[in-house]
Amino acid sequence: MNTSLKRIGILTGGGDCPGLNAVIRSIAKPAMTFFNATVIGILDGFEGFVEGRMRELSHLDVSGIINLGGTILGTSNKGDPFHYPRESATGVTTADCSHIVLENYRRWELDVLIAIGGDGTMNIAYKLAQMGMNIIGVPKTIDNDLEATDITFGHDSALAVATEAIDRLQTTASAHHRVIVVEVMGRYAGWIALGAGVAGGADVILIPEIPFKWKTVFDFVRKRSKGARFSIICCAEGAKPEGGELVVKERDAKRTDPIRLGGIADLVARRIQEETKIETRVTVLGHLQRGGSPTAFDRILGTKFGALALQAASRREFGCMVSLRGRDVVTVKLEDAIRRQRLVPPDSQLLFAARAVGISFGD
Choose, from 143, 145, 203, 298, the residue flagged as catalytic. 143
Q: Is-catalytic flag, 336?
A: no
Q: From CA 54, how far away is CA 36, in angstroms rounded?
A: 19
Predicted model pTM: 0.93
The three-class DSSP label of residue 321 is strand
pLDDT of residue 86: 83
Q: From CA 216, how far away is CA 212, in angstroms rounded?
A: 8
Does one domain contain both 21 and 145? yes
pLDDT of residue 2: 54
Within-domain flag for 360: no
Does one domain contain both 281 and 308? no
Within-domain flag for 345: no
The three-class DSSP label of residue 115 is strand
Q: In this structure, what CATH number is given to the domain that contains residue 121?
A: 3.40.50.450
The three-class DSSP label of residue 179 is strand
pLDDT of residue 256: 67
Within-domain flag for 231: yes
Does one domain contain both 205 and 132? no
Does one domain contain both 235 and 107? no
Q: What are phi and psi of 16, to 5 degrees?
A: -75, 165
Does one domain contain both 15 and 132? yes
Segments forming the whole domain that contains residue 54? 7-153+294-337
Does one domain contain both 79 and 128? yes
Does one domain contain both 134 and 269? no
Q: What is the residue-wise DSSP string for 296-344?
A: HHHHHHHHHHHHHHHHHHHTT--SEEEEEETTEEEEEEHHHHTSSB---
Within-domain flag for 348: no
Q: From CA 345, how far away is CA 352, in angstroms rounded?
A: 11
Does one domain contain both 200 and 233? yes
pLDDT of residue 356: 97
Q: Provide the residue-wise pLDDT of the chain in tens; the chain has 363 residues.
A: 455 799 999 999 998 999 999 999 999 999 999 999 999 999 999 999 999 999 999 999 999 999 999 999 999 988 899 999 887 777 788 899 999 999 999 999 999 999 999 999 999 999 999 999 999 999 999 999 998 999 999 999 999 999 999 999 999 999 999 999 999 999 999 999 999 999 999 999 999 999 999 999 999 999 999 989 999 999 999 999 999 988 888 777 666 677 778 899 999 999 999 999 999 999 999 999 999 999 999 999 999 999 999 999 999 999 999 999 999 999 999 999 998 899 999 999 999 999 999 999 999
pLDDT of residue 89: 76
Q: In this structure, what CATH number is given to the domain that contains residue 199?
A: 3.40.50.460
Total domain count for the chain? 2
Does one domain contain both 145 and 247? no
Does one domain contain both 134 and 208? no
